[in-house]
Amino acid sequence: MSARDKILGRLRAHMPAEAMMPPVLEAHYAPRARGESKAERLRRFRTGIEGFQAQVHLTTEDDWPTLLSALCAQKQVHTLMFGGLTPAGRRLMTTRFETTVLRSWEGQVETLKADLFHRVDAALTHARGAIAETGSLILWSSPEEPRTLSLVPPLHFVLLDAATIHPTFFDALRYENWAAGLPTNALLVSGPSKTADIQQTLAYGAHGPKELIVLVINAEGEAS
């Protein structure tokens, strides 16, 4: 008999005859729903993620490429990598960057790995959404924006549409029905990478990005 059959056999022999009633998650979440405005959700998201040392800039659909260009110059980004096939990527192709070399992701990671680790200073990806309660960005990997793009370069820019901010993680995955089809990698990101493993002293830039900069579009009604 295989290990699988033996383990399952032991568990089955003692499994309760009747399964418990399934948990009802609404009972916890519904009474705490806030019915807040879009601006209030953005404010909560911003407070949350800024508390984790991320920078947030409010901008517009028209202006974000220019802002990104200015931030790249200010941060002395030599090479910025992005997904060339996304709508944001196509916008970037037509934007003038003074000092930064734009490079779109081409091909499989194997041909790019050394550059990603040693020569790309920053990356831009878009966020699928965000979570107000915890100040988290939702990133889904895709062929256009692969997993390593938001992980390996030391500076990570994220483009977020304020209309896609959910009150809680539960709301996001329930109302977008994530269970019906997940990407290879779905991620919540709340700030640059960090650690407190040495004497509980917080240090940023552990293994992932050292800096996280969020460009929020569609944030009308919110002062900058």
Partner 1 sequence: MSVQTPSSPASNAGQPLAFVSAQALRERMHEAVNDTHLRQSFRGAMDFLMAKRAVQFPDPEELDSLRVLSEHIRQYSLSKLPDLLEQLETSLVRNGVQVHWAETPDEANAIMLEIARRHAAKLIVKGKSMVSEEIEFNHAMEAAGIGALESDMGEYIVQLAGEKPSHIIMPAIHQTKQQIAKLFAEHIPGVEYTDNVDALIQIGRRVLREKFEEADIGLSGVNFAVAETGTLCLVENEGNGRMCTTVPKVHIAITGIEKVVEKLEHVAPLFSILTRSATGQAVSTYFNMITGPRRSTDQDGPEEVHLVLLDNGRSQAYADEQLRKTLQCIRCGACMNHCPVYTRIGGHAYGTTYPGPIGKIISPHMMGLEQTHLLPTASSLCGACGEVCPVKIPIPELLIRLRGEAQSAPRADPAMVGQGAAYDPKISLLWKMWAGLYSRPSTYRAFSWLATRFRALTPARQRGWTAARTPLKPAPRRLRDMLKDRT
The residues in 118-137 that bind partner 1, with binding defined as CB under 8 A, are 131, 133-136
Closer residue to partner 1 in complex, CB, 22/221: 22
Q: Rounded to the nearest whole angstrom, what is the least distance from the CB of residue 122 to partner 1 in the complex?
A: 16
Interacting residues with partner 1 between 155 and 184 (CB under 8 A):
168-170, 173-174, 178-179, 182-184
CB 210 within 8 A of CB 152: no
Residue 58: closest CA among 71, 48, 67: 67
Burial readout 194-204 (b: 16 or more C-beta within 10 A, e: otherwise): beeeeeeeeeb
What is the Cα–Cα distance from 88 to 209, expressed in whole angstroms?
A: 21
Residue 23 found at the interface with partner 1 (CB under 8 A): yes
Question: Closest distance between partner 1 and the C-beta of residue 110, in Å?
Answer: 9
Query: In which residue are the tokens 């977020």 written?
Result: 160
Nearer to partner 1, 19 or 223 (CB): 19
Q: Which of 74, 94, 200, 224 binds partner 1 (CB under 8 A)?
A: 200
Scan residues 70-109 and list those touching partner 1 (CB under 8 A): 105, 107-109
Spatial neighbors of 20 by CB under 8 A, at least 6 apart, are none
